[in-house]
C-alpha cells in the first residue's frame, strides 16, 4: 500500500483541525495577513528553473548581463509574492446562503466579495473542494455577488464545506489562497421520484378542482405570522392596531385535499418514500391542490402556496436526517 | 486543471517570440529561419481555424528531418554553441505548434527568458542590454495576459503593469548583482569563436597594417592608475613575428605554444625592471584571438594570462567578448641581456631562397663601414631619414623581391614596409632583430581621462638585440614620419585617401565638428564606464568593491548582508504594496467591543452572529459560559451606554469609555490563551 494513502487521512484531519482553530466558521471574513496562504505554482517553479539555468550559464560563460538577468528574474519572482498577495488582501467575504435545491442538483451558494481598498482585484477564483471554479474581478471599493456551486447528493441540511478563494494574478508564479468557512447552509430537498399514489385518479379531477377553487375562499381565522409566509396575506389592519403581524387564513372549498402520508408507499426504503412524497408534493403544488403531510412525528395540515410548499419540502428534507 | 489559451495571449506570445529571436536571426542559417517562420505562420493559421494542430507523425517527421539538417548546416565551422543555440530556437518554434494550453505557453515564455540570456553570449553592449530589458517587459506582459481576464487585458494595461513590476524589481536586482558572491566557472564551456577576426593578425605581409587604418573601430581602452605616458611611449605590443619567408612575417618558436603549455612552464620573466612601473587597466574589444596587448615590459599576476619568452601576453581563450585585464609595465627595462642560442637563431633567420640580393649587399657594405652593431643601426635609420622615403597608406604593389623594391625603387610604404625592411637589414648584418605588431598611441578621452586605441592605430615596429642592452625597441617609421609617433596616426593620415574608408559612417569622420566630437567622446565614456563597472564586474572586482563599501569583515559575512538587504526589501515592498488597508471608521467603543467578540470567537467559547445585538449576545454568552456572565453583563451595559446613551457631557463620556476600556481589557485577558495574553500585555491599552 502506498504509504501516502495511509498518511493522508491523518494529515487531512490534522489540517482540518488546524484550520478550524485558525479560521473558525464566521459569517464574514476580511482577508489579510492572518488568513491568506501563498506558495509558488508549477509555473513559478518553471520560472525558477529558467532563472537557475540562466544563473548557471552566467557563471560558466562569465556573463555579467546574464547574472543581471538572473537577479532581475529572481527579484521579479520575489515581488510576485506581494502582487499576488495584495490581490487577495482587503477582500471581505460574506456568505449569503443558498436557495434550497433538490438532491442531485447543484447548490448555488451566494458569496459577496467586497474590496475594502482602492485597487481592483483581478481574476479571483472561488470553489468548494472538487467543484467547479467561479471566476470574477472585483472593482476597487465595490462588492461583487457571486454564486459558487456545489453538487449535492443527498437530502438534508447541507453545510457548505470550506470555500477556497484563490488568485494567481498577475504573473501566475504564486498562488495566494484562503479557505474560509462562511457557515453557509443549504437545505437539500429529496430528489423527486415518480411513483403511483394510491387512490389518486389523475389530472382530470385536478383540472376541475382548479376551476372550482378560483377565488372561492372562506376566511377561516388568524394565526401569527411566521417567517416564510406570504406578505399578501398579512392582516395589515390588525398590525396597525398594534396586534402584531397576523396572517389571514383562508380555506378553500375544494374536495381535492390530500394528506401525503408516510404509509402511502409501503415496501420502499425511507429515502425512497421521502422522494415519492416530494414528487407528489410538487405535483399537487403545481396543480394548486391542497395537500398536507404526515410523517412519523411531523404533521402539516393541508394548505397551498409557496410558503406551504417550502414548509412541506423542508420537512421532507430534514426529517430524521442521518446525523452523519 | 486544463486551461485553454486566452485568445489575446497568443498574439502577445507570438510577437514576444519574434522579438526575442530577432537578434539571433542574422546568425541562423537561412533554412532554419524559414522553418521558424513556417512554424509561426502555421500557429497563426491554427488560431484562425484554417489549419489543425500537427499530428504526431508530422511532428516526428519535422524533428527527424530538421535536427540533422541543422547540425549539418553548421558542419566545418566547429561551433558547438551556435548549434546548441540554433536547436534551442528551433525547439521553441516547434513548441509553438503544440501549444494548446496555458502550461505550454508558460514553457514557451520561460524559454523566451532563456533566449534573451543567450543573446548576451554574443553581445553585452548597452544597446543589447536595453533590448533585453524591452524583451523582459514584453515577456512579462505576455505572462500577465495569461492570467488576466480579457476585459481588463489590453496592450496598454498589460504593458503598464509589466513595466511597473520590472521597475519595482530592479533595486533588488542591483543589490543582488553587487552582493551575490561570484564564483569561478563550474566547468569549461565551448565559446563561439567567430571566424572573422578583427585587428592585428599573426601574419604580416605588405598592406596588412595599412588595411587596418581603414577602420575607425575601437581596439581597446586603457585607463592608467597614474598619469598617462606620452604618446611616443605608447607602444602596445601584441605579437612578435620572427619568421620571414621573403614576403610574409609569421610567428615562430615558443610564441606558437598553447596557453596550457605556457602555463605549465611558467618560466620566470628574464626581463629586468629598472625604473618605476605603471599600472593600467585595459578593456580589449573582441578580437577572436588569444593574445593581449601591453606596454613593454609587462607583468601581470592574473591567473588567466601567461607571458611567453617574447614578453607577449596570452590568455586562456580567444577574446570573444570584451575582456578586461590589469597589467603593470616598466617603461625602463632590460630584456634578455643574455640571448639564448635558439632565440638568437630565430632572430637571425632569413629566407632560404632570397631574391633580395641588393638589400643583402647594401647591408654588408654598410656594416663594414660602421664601427659596431649600434652604429650600423643608426646608419640604417639615417638612410631612411635621408632618402626620399614617403609614408603613405597607398604604396605601389611590390613584386617578388619586396624588400629590394621598397628600399631602392618605390620608397613608399606604411609602417609594415619600414619595419620589415629594417629587420631584414639588421638580420642581413648578423644582428638579432624581430618585427613587433600591435598598436601605437591612442586618444585620451577628456571626460573620463582614459585612452582609446583604434584600429587605425595599428602599427609595426622592430626590436633589435644589442649586447649589454638586450632587446631595444626601434621604430623605423619614426625616422621617416616622426609626427606619426608624436601626434598620432589620425593627425598624419587624416588626408590620406583610404583612411577610415571602411568606417564611412563612423562619428570619427566628424571629429572636426566640435559638438559632434564631444558627443562621440561622451558616448564612448558611457560605454567605457558600462564595461568597467557592469560587464567586467567579476570575482576580484567584487571583492575590491565590497572591501571598499563594507570593509573586509562584513564582506566575509556577505550572506548576513544579503539577508539584511532582503529583509529591507521585504519591509519596503510590504509597506508600499500592501498598505491601503480600510480605514477604521468605527468609534473606539465599537472597535474595542468587536475585538472582545473576536477574542471570544478565537478562544472557541462563542461566536457572535452577524447583526446580533449586544444584549442578545450577552444573554447567549451567559447561558453558555456562566462564569463570564457578570463581567460580560457589565461590559455590555457600559458599551450600550457608550453607544446609545444620551446623558452626560464630553468628560462623562470619556470616563465611560475609559472604564469600558479597562473592563474589556480585563475580560480579554481572562479569555485569552497564554501567548495571546502576553501579546495583549505588550500592546497599548487602547488596542
d(CA B389, CA B386): 8
Asked whether residue B110 falls in the same domain as residue B31, the answer is yes
Name residues whose C-beta falls within 8 Å of residue B673's C-beta, 6 or more positions apart in sequence: B603
Scanning chain A, the segments in alpha helix (DSSP H) are 3-22, 42-61, 64-88, 203-213, 236-240, 270-286, 306-318
Is the confidence at residue B461, as pLDDT, over 90? yes
Is the confidence at residue B584, as pLDDT, over 60? no
Answer whether B484's CB lies under 8 Å from B478's CB.
yes
Output the CA angle B453-B458-B459, nearest 5 degrees.
Answer: 125
Residue A66 in contact with partner chain B when CB distance is under 8 A: yes
Q: Is B147 within a domain?
A: yes
Of the residues B143, B172, B201, the one at which a domain ends? B172
d(CA B621, CA B603): 13
Of the residues B148, B172, B196, the one at which a domain ends? B172
Residue B387 in contact with partner chain A when CB distance is under 8 A: no
Scanning B192-325, the segments in alpha helix (DSSP H) are 208-212, 259-265
Asked whether residue B665 falls in the same domain as residue B568, the answer is no
Asked whether residue B543 falls in the same domain as residue B675, the answer is no
Q: From the CB of residue B433, how many other CB atoms can be counted at a distance below 10 Å?
A: 26
Is the confidence at residue B272, as pLDDT, over 60? yes
* A73 chain-B contacts, CB cut-off 8 A: 113, 136
Q: Chain A residue with minimal CA distance to B182?
A: A59
Quote the distance between the C-alpha of residue B241 and its chain's center: 32
Name residues whose C-beta falls within 8 Å of residue B549's C-beta, 6 or more positions apart in sequence: none
Count of positions (residues) in chain A:
324
**Residue B456's pLDDT band (cuts 50, 70, 90):** confident
> The whole model's pTM is what?
0.73
> Which whole number is the average pLDDT over B418-424?
92
For position A74, what pLDDT does the model report? 96
Give rounded-to-5 percent helix, strand, coil for chain A. 35, 30, 30
Asked whether residue B13 falls in the same domain as residue B116, the answer is yes
Asked whether residue B74 falls in the same domain as residue B15, the answer is yes
Q: Is B310 within a domain?
A: no
Quote the distance between the C-alpha of residue B610 and its chain's center: 62
pLDDT along chain A (324 residues), means of 10: 75 85 78 90 95 93 93 95 92 88 91 86 90 88 88 89 91 93 90 82 45 45 64 70 67 63 84 90 87 87 88 89 58
The more confident residue out of B658 and B610 is B658
Q: Chain A residue with minimal CA distance to B142?
A: A171
Q: Chain A residue with minimal CA distance to B135?
A: A69
Answer whether B96's CB lies under 8 Å from B40's CB.
yes
Asked whether residue B132 falls in the same domain as residue B21, the answer is yes
- What is the number of CB-based contacts under 8 A between chain A and chain B? 174
Q: Is B84 within a domain?
A: yes
Q: Is B249 within a domain?
A: no
d(CA B504, CA B103): 50
For position A260, what pLDDT does the model report? 85
Residue A54 in contact with partner chain B when CB distance is under 8 A: yes
* A35 chain-B contacts, CB cut-off 8 A: none
**Residue B258's pLDDT band (cuts 50, 70, 90):** confident
pLDDT digits (tens, 9 = 90+) for A230-269: 666 677 777 777 676 666 665 444 456 788 888 888 888 8
Residue B169 in contact with partner chain A when CB distance is under 8 A: yes
> Using the beta-carbon criterion (under 8 Å), do A78 and B169 form an inter-chain contact?
yes
Residue B545 in contact with partner chain A when CB distance is under 8 A: no
Domain that holds residue B549: 539-578
Asked whether residue B16 falls in the same domain as residue B64, the answer is yes
State the nearest Cα–Cα gap between A126 and chain B, in angstroms. 14
The more confident residue out of A190 and B79 is A190
pLDDT digits (tens, 9 = 90+) for B623-642: 888 888 888 888 888 888 87
State the nearest Cα–Cα gap between A316 and chain B, in angstroms. 28
Answer whether A277's CB lies under 8 Å from A316's CB.
yes
Asked whether residue B552 falls in the same domain as residue B628, the answer is no
The more confident residue out of A74 and B31 is A74
* B121 chain-A contacts, CB cut-off 8 A: 57, 61, 63, 66
d(CA B585, CA B589): 12
> Which whole number is the average pLDDT over B388-396?
84
Q: Is B661 within a domain?
A: yes
pLDDT digits (tens, 9 = 90+) for A96-111: 888 999 999 999 999 9
Answer whether A89's CB lies under 8 Å from B215's CB.
no
d(CA B481, CA B232): 12
Answer whether B206's CB lies under 8 Å from B244's CB.
no
Q: Which three cell numbers stand for residue B45?
A: 493559421
Q: Is B17 within a domain?
A: yes
Q: How many domains does chain B have?
A: 3
β B235-241/B294-295 pair status:
antiparallel
Asked whether residue B566 falls in the same domain as residue B663, the answer is no
Answer whether B184's CB lies under 8 Å from B542's CB.
no
d(CA B1, CA A130): 11
Is the confidence at residue B113, as pLDDT, over 90? yes
d(CA A181, CA A109): 12
State the nearest Cα–Cα gap between B644 and chain A, in angstroms. 25
- Please name the residue that has the C-alpha cell 631562397: B353
> Using the beta-carbon criterion (under 8 Å), do B140 and A76 form an inter-chain contact?
yes
Of the candidates A54, A60, A75, the beta carbon closest to that of B114 is on A54
Helix/strand/coil for A31: coil
Of the candidates A47, A66, A116, the beta carbon closest to that of B120 is on A66
For position B294, what pLDDT does the model report? 94
For position A142, what pLDDT does the model report? 81
The counts of H helices and E strands in chain B are 26, 21
d(CA B283, CA B452): 10
d(CA B280, CA B297): 13
Using CB atoms within 10 Å of the CB of residue A100, give its burial: 0 to 12 exposed, 13 to 18 middle, 19+ buried. Answer: middle
Q: Which phi and psi angles does B350 have, rounded to 5°?
A: -135, 155
Of the candidates B143, B176, B537, the beta carbon closest to that of A74 is on B176
Q: Is B638 within a domain?
A: yes
Asked whether residue B553 falls in the same domain as residue B635, the answer is no
Asked whether residue B678 falls in the same domain as residue B573, the answer is no
> Using the beta-carbon criterion (under 8 Å), do A86 and B578 form an inter-chain contact?
yes
Q: Which residues of B are catalytic?
A: 415, 459, 475
Of the residues B529, B556, B578, the one at which a domain ends? B578
DSSP bridge partners of B461? B436
Orientation of helix B7-25 relative to helix B102-122, angle to 10°: 20
For position A211, what pLDDT does the model report? 39
Asked whether residue B555 falls in the same domain as residue B640, the answer is no
**Residue B106's pLDDT band (cuts 50, 70, 90):** very high
Q: Is B478 within a domain?
A: no
Among positive and negative, which fits the CA dihedral B339, B340, B343, B349? positive
Amino acid at each position: 500500500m502506498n504509504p501516502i494513502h495511509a498518511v493522508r487521512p491523518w494529515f487531512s484531519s490534522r489540517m482540518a483541525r488546524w484550520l478550524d482553530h485558525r479560521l473558525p466558521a464566521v459569517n464574514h471574513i476580511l482577508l489579510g495577513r492572518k488568513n491568506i496562504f501563498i506558495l509558488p505554482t508549477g509555473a513559478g517553479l518553471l520560472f525558477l528553473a529558467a532563472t537557475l539555468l540562466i544563473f548557471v550559464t552566467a557563471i560558466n560563460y562569465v556573463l555579467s548581463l546574464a547574472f543581471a538577468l538572473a537577479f532581475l528574474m529572481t527579484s521579479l519572482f520575489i515581488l510576485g509574492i506581494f502582487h499576488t498577495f495584495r490581490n487577495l488582501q482587503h477582500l471581505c467575504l460574506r456568505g449569503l446562503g443558498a436557495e434550497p435545491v433538490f438532491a442531485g442538483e447543484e447548490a448555488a451558494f451566494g458569496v459577496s466579495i467586497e474590496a475594502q481598498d482602492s485597487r481592483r482585484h483581478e481574476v479571483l477564483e472561488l470553489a468548494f473542494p472538487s467543484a467547479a471554479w467561479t471566476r470574477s474581478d472585483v472593482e476597487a471599493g465595490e462588492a461583487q455577488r457571486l454564486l459558487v456551486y456545489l453538487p449535492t447528493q443527498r437530502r438534508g441540511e447541507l453545510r457548505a464545506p470550506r470555500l477556497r478563494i484563490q488568485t494567481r494574478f498577475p504573473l501566475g508564479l504564486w498562488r495566494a489562497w484562503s479557505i474560509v468557512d462562511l457557515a453557509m447552509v443549504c437545505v437539500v430537498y429529496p430528489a423527486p421520484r415518480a411513483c403511483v399514489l394510491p387512490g389518486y385518479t389523475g389530472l382530470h379531477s385536478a383540472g376541475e378542482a382548479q376551476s372550482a377553487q378560483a377565488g372561492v375562499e372562506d376566511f377561516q381565522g388568524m394565526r401569527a405570522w411566521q417567517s416564510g409566509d406570504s406578505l399578501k396575506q398579512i392582516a395589515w389592519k390588525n398590525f396597525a392596531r398594534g396586534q402584531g403581524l397576523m396572517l389571514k387564513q383562508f380555506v378553500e372549498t375544494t374536495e381535492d385535499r390530500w394528506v401525503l402520508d408516510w404509509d402511502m408507499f409501503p415496501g420502499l426504503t425511507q429515502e425512497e418514500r421521502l422522494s415519492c412524497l416530494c414528487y407528489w408534493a410538487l405535483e399537487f403544488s403545481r396543480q394548486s391542490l391542497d395537500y398536507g403531510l404526515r410523517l412519523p412525528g411531523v404533521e402539516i395540515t393541508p394548505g397551498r402556496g409557496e410558503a406551504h410548499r417550502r414548509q412541506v419540502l423542508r420537512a421532507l428534507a430534514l426529517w430524521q436526517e442521518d446525523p452523519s | 486543471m486544463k486551461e485553454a489559451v486566452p485568445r489575446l495571449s497568443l498574439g502577445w506570445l507570438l510577437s514576444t517570440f519574434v522579438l526575442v529571436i530577432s537578434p539571433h536571426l542574422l546568425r541562423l542559417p537561412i533554412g532554419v529561419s524559414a522553418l521558424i517562420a513556417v512554424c509561426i505562420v502555421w500557429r497563426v493559421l491554427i488560431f484562425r481555424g484554417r489549419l489543425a494542430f500537427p499530428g504526431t507523425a508530422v511532428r516526428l517527421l519535422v524533428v527527424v528531418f530538421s535536427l540533422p539538417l541543422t547540425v549539418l548546416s553548421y558542419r566545418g565551422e566547429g561551433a558547438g554553441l551556435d548549434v546548441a543555440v540554433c536547436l534551442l530556437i528551433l525547439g521553441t518554434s516547434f513548441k509553438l505548434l503544440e501549444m494548446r494550453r496555458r502550461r505550454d505557453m508558460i514553457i514557451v515564455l520561460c524559454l523566451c527568458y532563456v533566449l534573451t540570456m543567450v543573446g548576451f553570449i554574443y553581445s553585452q553592449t548597452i544597446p543589447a542590454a536595453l533590448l533585453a530589458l524591452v524583451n523582459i517587459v514584453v515577456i512579462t506582459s505576455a505572462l500577465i495576459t495569461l492570467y488576466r481576464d480579457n476585459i481588463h487585458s489590453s496592450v496598454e494595461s498589460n504593458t503598464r503593469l509589466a513595466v511597473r513590476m520590472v521597475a519595482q524589481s530592479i533595486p533588488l536586482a542591483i543589490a543582488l548583482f553587487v552582493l551575490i558572491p561570484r564564483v569561478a566557472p563550474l566547468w569549461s564551456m565551448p565559446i563561439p569563436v567567430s571566424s572573422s577576426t578583427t585587428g592585428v593578425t599573426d601574419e604580416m605581409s605588405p598592406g596588412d597594417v595599412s588595411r587596418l587604418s581603414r577602420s575607425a573601430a575601437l581596439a581597446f581602452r586603457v585607463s592608467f592608475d597614474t598619469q598617462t605616458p606620452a604618446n611616443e611611449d605608447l607602444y602596445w605590443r601584441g605579437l612578435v613575428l620572427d619568421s620571414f619567408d621573403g614576403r610574409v612575417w609569421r610567428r615562430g618558436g615558443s610564441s606558437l605554444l598553447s596557453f596550457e603549455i605556457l602555463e605549465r612552464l611558467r618560466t620566470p620573466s628574464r626581463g629586468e625592471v629598472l625604473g618605476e612601473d605603471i599600472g593600467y587597466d585595459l578593456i580589449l574589444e573582441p578580437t577572436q584571438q588569444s593574445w593581449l596587448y601591453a606596454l613593454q615590459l609587462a607583468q601581470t599576476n592574473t591567473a588567466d594570462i601567461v607571458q611567453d619568452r617574447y614578453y607577449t601576453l596570452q590568455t586562456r581563450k580567444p577574446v570573444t567578448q570584451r575582456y578586461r585585464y590589469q597589467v603593470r609595465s616598466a617603461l625602463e627595462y632590460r630584456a634578455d641581456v643574455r640571448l639564448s642560442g635558439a632565440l638568437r637563431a630565430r632572430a637571425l633567420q632569413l629566407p632560404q631562397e632570397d631574391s633580395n640580393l641588393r638589400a643583402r649587399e647594401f647591408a654588408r657594405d654598410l656594416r663594414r663601414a660602421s664601427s659596431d652593431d649600434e652604429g650600423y643601426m643608426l646608419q640604417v635609420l639615417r638612410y631612411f631619414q635621408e632618402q626620399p622615403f614617403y609614408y603613405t597608406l597607398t604604396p605601389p604593389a611590390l613584386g617578388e623581391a619586396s624588400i629590394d623594391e621598397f628600399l631602392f625603387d618605390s620608397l613608399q610604404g606604411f609602417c609594415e614596409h619600414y619595419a620589415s625592411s629594417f629587420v631584414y637589414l639588421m638580420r642581413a648584418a648578423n644582428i638579432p632583430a624581430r618585427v613587433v605588431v600591435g598598436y601605437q598611441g591612442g586618444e585620451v578621452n577628456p571626460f573620463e581621462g582614459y585612452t582609446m586605441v583604434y584600429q587605425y592605430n595599428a602599427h609595426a615596429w622592430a626590436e633589435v638585440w644589442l649586447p649589454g642592452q638586450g632587446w631595444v625597441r626601434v621604430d623605423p617609421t619614426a625616422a621617416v614620419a616622426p609626427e606619426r609617433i608624436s601626434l598620432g596616426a589620425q593627425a598624419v593620415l587624416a588626408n590620406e585617401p583610404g583612411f577610415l574608408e571602411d568606417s564611412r559612417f563612423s562619428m570619427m569622420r566628424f571629429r572636426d565638428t566640435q559638438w559632434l566630437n564631444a558627443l562621440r567622446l561622451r558616448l564612448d565614456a558611457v560605454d567605457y564606464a558600462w564595461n568597467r563597472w557592469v560587464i567586467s564586474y567579476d570575482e576580484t572586482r567584487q571583492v575590491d568593491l565590497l572591501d571598499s563599501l563594507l570593509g573586509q569583515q562584513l564582506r566575509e559575512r556577505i550572506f548576513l548582508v544579503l539577508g539584511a538587504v532582503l529583509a529591507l526589501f521585504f519591509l519596503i515592498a510590504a509597506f508600499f504594496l500592501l498598505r491601503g488597508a480600510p480605514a477604521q471608521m468605527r468609534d473606539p467603543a465599537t472597535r474595542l467591543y468587536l475585538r472582545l467578540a473576536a477574542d471570544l470567537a478565537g478562544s472557541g467559547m462563542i461566536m457572535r452572529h452577524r447583526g446580533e445585538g449586544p444584549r442578545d449576545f450577552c444573554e447567549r454568552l451567559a447561558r453558555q459560559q456562566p462564569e463570564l456572565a457578570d463581567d460580560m453583563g457589565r461590559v455590555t451595559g457600559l458599551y450600550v451606554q457608550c453607544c446609545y446613551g444620551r446623558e452626560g457631557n464630553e468628560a462623562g463620556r470619556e470616563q465611560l469609555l475609559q472604564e469600558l476600556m479597562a473592563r474589556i481589557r480585563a475580560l480579554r485577558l481572562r479569555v485569552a490563551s497564554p501567548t495571546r495574553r502576553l501579546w495583549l500585555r505588550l500592546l497599548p491599552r487602547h488596542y
